[in-house]
Structure 1
């Protein structure tokens, strides 16, 4: 409790004096320092890495120490995953990476919306490229934890060449990743979300699966899809034998915000993450489960802040959970604390392990 108050009353106010992207850079530097000082990462890992048997989750062909993972977008270039695992995350999704290096959109491209406990970003897949991410992943110690790679379309790649672009990225990172995520749902690359149409998406997914036949491949979807569009993507994922789906990416719906003026004052466009996304992401998760049952691994992402939020996603069918914005607002101990509280909640409900509660919420028929 004292450590949480120290972050919220001292560290976070200081970081929030900086522009949002500058604060992120400072946080990233602190995480890299954690893994570069001899012994510090190991001491942190002993203190914070998941060790509660109630959190052990079998997914992606492995036993993960916790279902709580770090979502893509935080560790864009695969430099922070060791630190994130030491801080209590059960797995990390790096990226989004693209086939060619790209600077992303012009700044400002990240804004805090504290009145909504949200972030607004229009980064545009700024990253050093899939080859660089592959090299970084190749240097990791797989025994330290599960790390997947999120791949997206290069801005310079025409839409009709998207399959080849995704294939290139998949081949670069697949030999060194534990799973792959296909991102066609970011709102910050022109035309990208049009690739969520099943006819356009099928060749992309075929290309990724062909490039990484040994790895679980998951599809990350937008929260702004209509129910019928969600159903069509579920059917495609099942038809192609994908391992699972992630619900959801960021939303472009500023109507979800209580303080819309703050977003409008920041910049045009971009995607919103954090608390406002909670209800819609949960609704999409429930829709996917209603369509797929237990035939897909479901990963919940978007608006998870509390153990109760996480528990609701688990009961709705999510085996794994991903956070990002809450990590920014609640600090470096967040993953450890969320895992501990989720384990306690599971035990209070009569479960020996969190995974035993996956999908125990009655399924509503999809209409």
Structure 2
């Protein structure tokens, strides 16, 4: 109820201004331990049925915050207080970059959607490293989403991803290779099988070297686009598995503009997220589960607003799920909301653990 009133105020602002103001509020909150503890107590749902272990990591619940919100990795501690099971930061690039020209973030309110063409705006991995050293680590897994700088040729892209991995290895619980954002020109070309195999071989061999040095294993996930044909997607998944990838995140934003309500922003370039992506991303999760025979962990993301949405993604084959646009429309209590609704569904169906339903509706 409180957020409904606050949202009216935020939605009167330019979308990026509202985001910047929210980040500042989170910075204040996380610097005030009493406030953080109060929020954590109010928003966190603790229940054994929601817990899971994926890639050797323990998740208190399946609801994560996707990359793109905490772009600079400086408010993940504050975000963790809102009941998320994990938080993913970034996308981070080796060198700082300002991203694409403004305006670059647009709300499609009738569709409960967002179009963004931010372009990996971030302060760079060294700035993030300083923040990781300064902020204490939350009691949930933290993922780091890595990208390449805009001016790095694709032929040299692996050096950017490797640089992020090496610099930030001590601070992540898992890493994500973002080769699927539509907002960096040519980035999605890295999904082509030959380029992808080269990239994954380089990055994963670096991870294995770091494992030997540190005796700490960091799972690496690949985030894919929803605008692939089923044949392209199958080739990508098979290539990723052969290369030794630990998991798949499905999916990033879409360049499709199908079935949207009339809006002055529908023709804006960039990636579309939110409700219009719900079914498409769920179908991708289902296909990936089939291709991998359920042996490769999947994080499902795209158009999740409720416990029912999360339940469908999990039944399609997702081990975990992530939200972003849903939080913009539903508010910071979305993890609590989804987890509460998920528990009600599990109770109704007599299910004792989320693991029992992963991939249970794949036909």
Does the pair score TM above 0.5? yes
Residue 231 of structure 2 corresponds to which residue in structure 1?
Answer: 228
3-state SS, counterpart of residue 359 of structure 1: coil
Residue 214 of structure 2 corresponds to which residue in structure 1?
Answer: none
How many residue pairs get aligned? The number is 355
Q: Which moved more, 1:219-228 or 1:162-171?
A: 162-171
Residue 176 of structure 1 corresponds to which residue in structure 2?
Answer: 171
Is residue 2:250 matched to residue 1:255?
Answer: no
Distance 1:141 1:347 in 2: 36
Is residue 2:75 matched to residue 1:72?
Answer: no
Which segments of 5 or more consecutive residues in structure 2 lack a partner in the other structure? Answer: 209-216
CA contact (8 A) 1:343 1:353 kept: no
Is residue 2:275 matched to residue 1:280?
Answer: no
CA contact (8 A) 2:286 2:359 kept: no
3-state SS, counterpart of residue 218 of structure 1: strand
Residue 40 of structure 1 corresponds to which residue in structure 2?
Answer: 35
Residues 355/105 of structure 1: CA separation in 2 closer, same or farther (3 Å cut): same
> Which structure 1 residue ranges, 4+ long, deviate > 3 Å from structure 2?
138-143
Is residue 2:115 matched to residue 1:120?
Answer: yes
The equivalences for 1:151-162 within 5 A come to 151-162=146-157
Q: CA deviation at 1:270?
A: 0.4
TM-score (norm 2): 0.95
TM-score (norm 1): 0.94
3-state SS, counterpart of residue 64 of structure 2: strand
CA contact (8 A) 2:316 2:360 kept: yes
Distance 2:310 2:87 in 1: 17
The equivalences for 1:104-115 within 5 A come to 104-115=99-110
Is residue 2:30 matched to residue 1:27?
Answer: no
Distance 1:177 1:284 in 2: 26
Is residue 2:85 matched to residue 1:90?
Answer: yes
CA contact (8 A) 1:110 1:119 kept: yes
3-state SS, counterpart of residue 262 of structure 1: coil
CA contact (8 A) 1:82 1:144 kept: no
Residues 277/143 of structure 1: CA separation in 2 closer, same or farther (3 Å cut): closer
3-state SS, counterpart of residue 125 of structure 1: coil
CA contact (8 A) 1:50 1:89 kept: no
Distance 2:241 2:135 in 1: 32
Q: CA deviation at 1:24?
A: 0.5
Residue 237 of structure 1 corresponds to which residue in structure 2?
Answer: 240
3-state SS, counterpart of residue 49 of structure 2: helix
CA contact (8 A) 1:183 1:219 kept: yes
Which segments of 5 or more consecutive residues in structure 1 lack a partner in the other structure? Answer: none
Is residue 2:325 matched to residue 1:325?
Answer: yes
Give the one of 50, 53, 58 matched to 2:53: 58
What do the CA deviations read for 1:93-139 (whole angstroms, capped 9, x no partner)? 10000111100000000010001000000000000111222232233
Distance 1:171 1:259 in 2: 46
Q: CA deviation at 1:258?
A: 2.6
Give the one of 136, 139, 144 matched to 2:131: 136
Is residue 2:2 matched to residue 1:6?
Answer: yes
Residue 186 of structure 1 corresponds to which residue in structure 2?
Answer: 181
